[in-house]
Amino acid sequence: MTIIEKNRTGAPGRRTRGAEVTPVDRLADETGATTAEYAITTLAACGFAAVLVVLLKSGEVRSLLMGIITSALSMGS
């Protein structure tokens, strides 16, 4: 019976059951690495969004943004 797994190059390979898997082979396995990268990126984006929400709720930032928008709209007329 054979087991399908990825070899060191990332391509699917076959090995027979009972073949020795070395620690180097286990460290070279990147199964799930992409999922972990997406999870960390999503977590960082959520943290950044939370900081933006807190900043935009403050009165000083809100008045500063309204000033910028009012100034930009008055230039067009």
Domains identified in the chain, total number: 2
What distance lies between CA 35 and its chain's CA centroid?
8
| Residues 8 and 20 both lie in one domain | yes
pTM value is 0.45
What pLDDT was estimated at residue 23? Answer: 78
4 in the same domain as 41: no
What the block records as the tokens of 15 is 């090995």
Band (19; pLDDT cuts 50, 70, 90): low
The 10s digit of each residue's pLDDT in 32-74 is: 778 888 999 999 999 999 999 998 888 998 899 899 999 999 9
Q: Which domain, by its residues, includes 16?
A: 1-30
State which amino acid sits at residue 68.
Answer: I
